[in-house]
Chains A and B, each alone.
Chain A
Amino acid sequence: MKTDRIFGVVVILVALTFIVSAYNLPAGNVFDKLGPKAFPIIVGVGMILSAAMLVFKPDTEPDWPAIPTLLALALATVVLVGYAYALKPLGFLVPTAIAAAVLSYQISPKPMPAVLTGLGLSVGLFVIFKFALGLSLFALPRGLMG
């Protein structure tokens, strides 16, 4: 109930900014009757209508996970974002080992297998990507490679 309502309202607000932003685009001309603004407005109105249905007729509340699990999911997201930014400056091996180990531990909380998964995936995938598939990856920080 609550989730659908909140989500519906958020979508309506986003759709309104979408429509307002579309209104500032120029109108069409003879060669392009509708111009760049008409279709976005149609889409925005469609979003508002279907989101309004959600607000007025919400489904039963989805069973969101408990707080600890939500925190774990947030941590996973942070790890992934960190991984995205670490991949280039730190090379492939170290960030991949850490990120894979953390995710593995989060799925199945056993420390040793998680560490082994991290190391194995990091080295194994590197070998596959670099040597079998020929992608250009750097194993270690480029500074260290000279």
Chain B
Amino acid sequence: MELFSNLALGFGVALSPLTLFLAVVGCFLGTIIGALPGLGPSNGVAILIPITFSLGLDATAALVLLTSVYYGAMYGGRISSILLNIPGDEPAMMTTLDGYPMAKNGRAGDALVISGVASFVGALLATLALALVAPYLARIAYKFGPAEYFALYALAFATLGGMASNNQAKAALASFIGLGIALIGLDNNSGFTRFTGGNLHLSDGVDFLVAIVGLFAVSEVFVFIETHGKSSAVGVKLGKVTVPWKDLWETRWTMLRSSAVGFIAGVLPGAGASLGSFMTYMMEKGIAGENGGFGSGAIKGVAAPEAGNNAAAGGALVPMLTLGVPGSGTTAVLLAVLMTLNITPGPTLFSDRPDVVWGLIASLLIANFVLLAMNVPMVKVFVKILMVPPAVLLPAVTMISFVGIYSLSGSYFDLVLMIAFGVMGYAFRKMDIPTVPVILGILLGYQMENNLRHAMTLSGGEWTYLFSSPIAAVLWIAAFLGFFAPVFLRRYLKKPQLIED
């Protein structure tokens, strides 16, 4: 079977000592990044990108390192959810609902083990599903012409914007601002420089890494200065960690169901891991009914969102790799990695660079076992790391961001631009304007314009061409629904707030 020969190729790449080493390092760093409140998968990967590039790693190695960090962060996010009642990252929010009550009842160790195993099940199944589904989607993607790609980008903005914000106008505005920033600089087709205001530094355009690190990492410092890094002392005692076999067996169907739902949520463009954990939690809560004890420390309430968000993390890689359209903030960051490495994700990636795709998938399979080992028997190590106070952590993140960007470009201008993006990220967060669409706009703006121009040149300027093929029409309808449906569903899909002590 083709799959096995592909996986054999992948393991050939993944089992080289360097790749294996990077996967382990990535898992370790990722779990730390996920566990620390204030650092999540998107900003964690963001600050590591420039450093990875200055190390001169090749494409496969860099991708393996950074996706291991991504997977690791998805595992690690649960640690602070359970012990501190502070989600280590956004998708781990649902885990606080039952994880923290469990910890308060003296079952912190059990909660960590169950959620760790659930993460493993979700991530492993999703990685296998990725290996099965992605090649098929890549084949469909060959049928995509410029009109379809343009519609696909519109869909990504629409669903991401629809899900990410409480106010559709703000999500749309964020997307347009991102696209506008992407247009700054030299236009490759015509050779004209656009919107630089005569500034020479801007003629190369705004580097998306500068924007990503600024919006995701530097802005975090401002947030912590404002809140003075409200206490993050470990609130509950963690005793001896044992494996609660009975509970694991009891939650087996929950884990499997949640993995499937989470994976599908992840594949949908714009939905991502947060939706995965939300949907699976709500689903299991519904199945368990009134007597399920959800919200007061139900084991299924810990297993479901963790299997869900880790499966969604794997699912989100499917559209990113096959279509070049990220499904979430973190996959947008990973797309930036690929683009900086001069790898164009999309169907051709599977035929031209099978070593990258299958090496990555094989590494992720290995990474899952490494992560299971780190997150269950060794979980106490990471609990210690939670003691790092924000007053040390956030300055460190800032300094790493500066050195990373500086070592990449060596320009003051980029550093100042990064600070400006940091201020913008802070202000946008205050105003409830989502920043992920801005990143998406900066990343996809060039492709989106190119596909539009190409489509118009092909059709001789006929606008209806954009909607003429069935695939494009379906994508446009999906985009429309994805953007406006949340307005009506919002009443029913209200996210539960953090429980107070």
* Residues of chain A whose beta carbon lies under 8 Å from any beta carbon of chain B: 3-4, 7, 11, 15, 18, 21-22, 25-26, 28, 30-36, 38-40, 43-44, 46-47, 49-51, 53-54, 57, 59, 62-65, 69, 72-73, 76-77, 80-81, 83-85, 87-88, 92, 96, 99-101, 103-110, 113-114, 117-118, 120-122, 125, 129, 133-137
Partner of A73, one of B192, B395, B426: B426
* A26→B190 contact, CB < 8 A: yes
Across the interface, which residues of A come within 8 angstroms of B391, CB to CB? 104-105, 107-108, 110, 113-114, 117
Return A136 CB to nearest CB of chain B, in Å. 7
Across the interface, which residues of A come within 8 angstroms of B448, CB to CB? 39
Partner of A36, one of B55, B192, B460, B461: B192
Across the interface, which residues of B come within 8 angstroms of A121, CB to CB? 392, 395-396, 399
Residue of A nearest to B177 (CB): A47
* B423→A77 contact, CB < 8 A: yes
CA distance A118 to B394 in the complex (A): 12
* A107→B228 contact, CB < 8 A: yes
Which of B115-123, B219-227, B259-267 is the interface stretch?
B219-227
* B190→A137 contact, CB < 8 A: no
* A40→B398 contact, CB < 8 A: no
* B412→A85 contact, CB < 8 A: yes
* A40→B173 contact, CB < 8 A: no
* A33→B172 contact, CB < 8 A: no
Q: Pull 25 A–B residue pairs with CB atoms less than 8 Å apart, ordered by A.
A: A7-B431, A11-B173, A31-B457, A34-B452, A36-B190, A39-B453, A40-B195, A43-B179, A43-B183, A46-B175, A53-B169, A53-B172, A54-B169, A54-B173, A59-B167, A62-B432, A76-B221, A80-B422, A84-B402, A100-B399, A103-B395, A106-B225, A117-B391, A135-B51, A135-B407
Secondary structure dominating the interface of A = helix
CA distance A47 to B226 in the complex (A): 30
Across the interface, which residues of B come within 8 angstroms of A87, CB to CB? 402, 406, 415
Sorting the interface of chain B by its residue count into under 10, 10 to 19, 20 to 34 or 35 or more gives 35 or more
* A81→B416 contact, CB < 8 A: yes
Partner of B457, one of A11, A33, A47: A33
CA distance A99 to B397 in the complex (A): 12
* A80→B392 contact, CB < 8 A: no
Partner of B170, one of A36, A54, A88: A54
Taking the complex as formed, is B202 at the interface, i.e. its CB lies under 8 A from any CB of chain A? no
Across the interface, which residues of A come within 8 angstroms of B426, CB to CB? 73
CA distance A31 to B190 in the complex (A): 10
Across the interface, which residues of A come within 8 angstroms of B177, CB to CB? 11, 47
Return A35 CB to nearest CB of chain B, in Å. 6
* B226→A65 contact, CB < 8 A: yes
* B456→A33 contact, CB < 8 A: yes
* A62→B431 contact, CB < 8 A: yes
* A117→B226 contact, CB < 8 A: no
* B176→A46 contact, CB < 8 A: yes
Across the interface, which residues of B come within 8 angstroms of A49, CB to CB? 172
* A107→B390 contact, CB < 8 A: yes
Partner of B183, one of A40, A76, A84, A134: A40
CA distance A46 to B180 in the complex (A): 10
* B176→A47 contact, CB < 8 A: yes
* A34→B183 contact, CB < 8 A: no
Across the interface, which residues of B come within 8 angstroms of A77, CB to CB? 419, 423
Across the interface, which residues of A come within 8 angstroms of B415, CB to CB? 84, 87
Taking the complex as formed, is B389 at the interface, i.e. its CB lies under 8 A from any CB of chain A? yes
Return A95 CB to nearest CB of chain B, in Å. 9
Not counting A32-B453, A44-B180, A103-B225, a sample of 12 additional A-B residue pairs whose C-beta atoms are within 8 angstroms of each other reads A25-B190, A25-B194, A33-B460, A34-B456, A39-B183, A54-B170, A96-B399, A100-B398, A108-B391, A109-B228, A121-B396, A133-B51
CA distance A133 to B408 in the complex (A): 14
Q: A11-B173, A33-B461, A104-B391 are in contact. Are A18 and B452 (CB under 8 A)?
A: no
* A73→B226 contact, CB < 8 A: yes
Across the interface, which residues of A come within 8 angstroms of B402, CB to CB? 80, 83-84, 87
Q: Which of B220-279 contact A (CB under 8 A)?
A: 221-222, 224-226, 228-229
* A36→B403 contact, CB < 8 A: no
* B449→A21 contact, CB < 8 A: no
CA distance A53 to B487 in the complex (A): 15
CA distance A110 to B426 in the complex (A): 24
Residue of B nearest to A44 (CB): B180
Residue of B nearest to A47 (CB): B176
* B170→A69 contact, CB < 8 A: no
Across the interface, which residues of B come within 8 angstroms of A73, CB to CB? 222, 225-226, 426
Taking the complex as formed, is B189 at the interface, i.e. its CB lies under 8 A from any CB of chain A? yes
Across the interface, which residues of B come within 8 angstroms of A25, CB to CB? 190, 192, 194
Partner of B189, one of A7, A36, A57, A106: A36
Across the interface, which residues of A come within 8 angstroms of B176, CB to CB? 43, 46-47, 50
* A18→B395 contact, CB < 8 A: no
Which 3 A/B pairs are nearest by Cβ-Cβ distance?
A: A53-B169, A84-B415, A108-B391
Taking the complex as formed, is B54 at the interface, i.e. its CB lies under 8 A from any CB of chain A? yes
Across the interface, which residues of B come within 8 angstroms of A106, CB to CB? 225
Q: Which of B151-194 contact A (CB under 8 A)?
A: 166-167, 169-170, 172-173, 175-177, 179-180, 183, 187, 189-190, 192, 194
Across the interface, which residues of A come within 8 angstroms of B173, CB to CB? 11, 47, 50-51, 53-54
* B412→A18 contact, CB < 8 A: no
Return B51 CB to nearest CB of chain A, in Å. 7
CA distance A130 to B457 in the complex (A): 51
CA distance A140 to B402 in the complex (A): 17
CA distance A36 to B190 in the complex (A): 7
Across the interface, which residues of B come within 8 angstroms of A83, CB to CB? 402
Return B22 CB to nearest CB of chain A, in Å. 13
Across the interface, which residues of B come within 8 angstroms of A81, CB to CB? 416, 419
